[in-house]
Amino acid sequence: MALKIGVVGMRGIGTKHAECHDENELADLVAVCDVIKERADKGAEKFGVAAYYCLKDMLAAHPDLDIVDVCTGGYENGSWHFEPTMEALEAGKHVLCEKPLSNQVVEARRMVARAEELGLYLGCNLNHYFTQPADEAMERMDKGEVGEIVYCLHKMGFPGGELTYGGAPSGFRDKGFPYFHVKAFLAHPFSIMRHFCGDITHVQAFMDKPGYRRTAGDVMLSVNSIHVRFASGAVGYLLSQRGDTTFGLGGWWSVEIGGTRGSFVIENCVEKLTYYPARGTEGAAVPENMGGFDSPTPVVTNTGITDFGATFPTRIHAFLEDVTNGVPRADLRSSGRDALATLEYTFAAIESYEQGGILVRPKALPPLHGQVEPES
Ligand SMILES: NC(=O)c1ccc[n+]([C@@H]2O[C@H](COP(=O)([O-])OP(=O)(O)OC[C@H]3O[C@@H](n4cnc5c(N)ncnc54)[C@H](O)[C@@H]3O)[C@@H](O)[C@H]2O)c1
């Protein structure tokens, strides 16, 4: 039977989520909610469901709801996630929450802990690795075609430059927040690095902004240069920026992961995977036919997909599938705990920057307890 869904926060992203539920056979969208009446009413009319103006009323009217999908935003795009998430969990509902889980790591820790205590699923919309290139790269890793990971180089951000600069942020969610980009955005690139390379144990960061932002009185630290070490021993580097320049190689989104048996690069998130077999491995060109610096011929998969929006239905489907199948909570894809990891790294980066670039060990994640499989 389809899962009954209520979406909270019906602006751009909430409407996108509602569309995904509406078109998914595992979901039965029954209600939408926004504290601004016109937005809730507009969503209700579009999807032919009931409108509510506070979550309490939505929960009371639909005691059979299975999932509350939290698409509120707030300061730094995350300050309005804690309250509706906790309210829905206390009402016994599974929750899918937008990223970042919160703009405060202490709140995110409480959200993850409470879901675990109540035995409920808490998922997060870390949608950037619900793609064909990421799946194919993971298949190659699982088959041993990448080997031991040596390094991860990741660039993700917004193209721009001083000629397209629109002035200091003026919205309620970004105005006056130096860490707006850091808190609102880094959940995505950190989720990619952790997806492929595992937990991060050491973080060192430099942050700054170009002169034209300074002149405009813009406090946002729009350039983030972050060096990390993974628990595996691999090293990594993340460069994120918010519209101060264009990225050259790979455009707005690229990740390069180097392993002892092969390396891969994903470009434009959804679009292209290039696999570079290492010399001597199966699939590599005959080494004696190659000169000193020649590399074996790469294998390119071009999906033909360029719209990043394609990640939303895929990620939301994965959450619906996991809840439908009753997977062990520890196996939930893109879980609240995964999202908490990205916030621990984000707050470690902030601490490193504030202390002049010191090395910071992110706080350890809560343990995974696993669940006993029923005897068959
Ligand atoms: N995963 C992605 O790729 C991606 C992309 C963009 C934005 N986001 C995230 O999506 C979230 C929403 O983004 P947006 O641009 O639609 O935000 P928004 O601020 O434009 O809209 C949020 C809506 O939530 C409503 N709201 C706030 N608190 C509420 C509450 N307690 N109950 C009911 N309604 C409430 C507001 O009235 C508003 O209409 C943000 O957290 C953002 O970080 C994710």
Indicate whether 309 pLDDT > 60.
Answer: yes
Q: What is the pLDDT of residues 265-303, one digit of tens each?
A: 999 999 999 999 998 888 887 776 677 777 889 999 999
Query: How far is the C-alpha of 334 from the C-alpha of 51, rounded, in Å?
Result: 29
Q: Domains along the chain?
A: 3-128+311-332 (3.40.50.720), 132-307 (3.30.360.10)
CA of residue 103 to ligand 1 center, whole Å:
13
Residue nearest to atom 22 of ligand 1 (CA): 72
Indicate whether 370 pLDDT > 80.
Answer: no
The answer to whether residues 97 and 85 touch, using CB atoms and an 8 Å cutoff, is yes
Instruction: Tell me phi and psi for residue 364, to 5 degrees.
Output: -65, 150
CA of residue 126 to ligand 1 center, whole Å:
15
Note if the pTM is more than 0.85: yes
Instruction: Tell me phi and psi for residue 256, to 5 degrees.
Output: -125, 125
User: Which pLDDT score, from 0 to 100, does residue 292 have?
Assistant: 74
Indicate whether 164 pLDDT > 70.
Answer: yes
Q: Which two tokens stand for residue 283?
A: 């699939």
What angle separates helix 187-197 from helix 336-354, to the nearest 10 degrees? 110
Please choose from 8, 11, 131, 177 the residue to mutate so as to test ligand 1's pocket, defined by most ligand atoms within 8 A of CB.
Answer: 11
Helix (H/G/I), strand (E/B), else coil: 197: helix
Within 6 A (CB) of ligand 1 lie 8-14, 33-36, 39, 55, 71-73, 77-78, 80, 83-84, 98-99, 125, 127, 184
DSSP summary character for residue 16: H
CA–CA distances in Å: residue 136 to residues 273, 281, 317: 8, 18, 18
Question: Mean pLDDT over residues 94-117, rounded?
Answer: 98
Q: What is the pLDDT of residues 313-366, one digit of tens each?
A: 999 999 999 999 999 999 999 999 999 999 999 999 999 999 999 999 999 999
CA of residue 153 to ligand 1 center, whole Å:
30
Within the chain, residue ranges assigned H as helices are: 12-22, 37-47, 55-61, 82-90, 105-118, 132-142, 180-185, 187-197, 211-215, 311-325, 336-354
Q: What is the pLDDT of residues 256-267, one digit of tens each?
A: 999 999 999 999
Indicate whether 95 pLDDT > 80.
Answer: yes
User: Which pLDDT score, from 0 to 100, does residue 295 have?
Assistant: 80
User: Which pLDDT score, from 0 to 100, does residue 61 have?
Assistant: 98
Q: Which residues neighbour 271 within 8 Å (Cβ) at sequence distance 6 or greater?
A: 133, 302, 303, 304, 305, 306
- The verdict on whether omega for the bond into residue 133 sits within 30 degrees of 0, i.e. cis, is no
Question: Mean pLDDT over residues 359-376, rounded?
Answer: 81
How many alpha carbons fall within 13 Å on the CB side of residue 315?
25
Return the percentage of the chain with pLDDT > 70, whole number: 97
Give the least confident one: 70-74, 206-210, 246-250: 246-250
User: Which pLDDT score, from 0 to 100, does residue 294 have?
Assistant: 79
CA of residue 190 to ligand 1 center, whole Å:
21
pLDDT band for position 35 (cuts 50, 70, 90): very high
User: Which pLDDT score, from 0 to 100, does residue 228 have?
Assistant: 98
* DSSP for 181-240, written as a single string: HHHHHTHHHHHHHHHHH--EEEEEEEEE--HHHHHTT-----EEEEEEEETTS-EEEEEE
Query: How far is the C-alpha of 241 from the C-alpha of 253, rounded, in Å?
Result: 11
Which candidate, 120, 181, 186, places its Cα nearest to that of 155?
186
User: Which pLDDT score, from 0 to 100, does residue 376 have?
Assistant: 58
Rounded to the nearest integer, the mean pLDDT of the chain is 96
User: Which pLDDT score, from 0 to 100, does residue 296 have?
Assistant: 87
pLDDT band for position 373 (cuts 50, 70, 90): low
Q: C-alpha dihedral over 60, 61, 63, 66, to 10 degrees?
A: -110
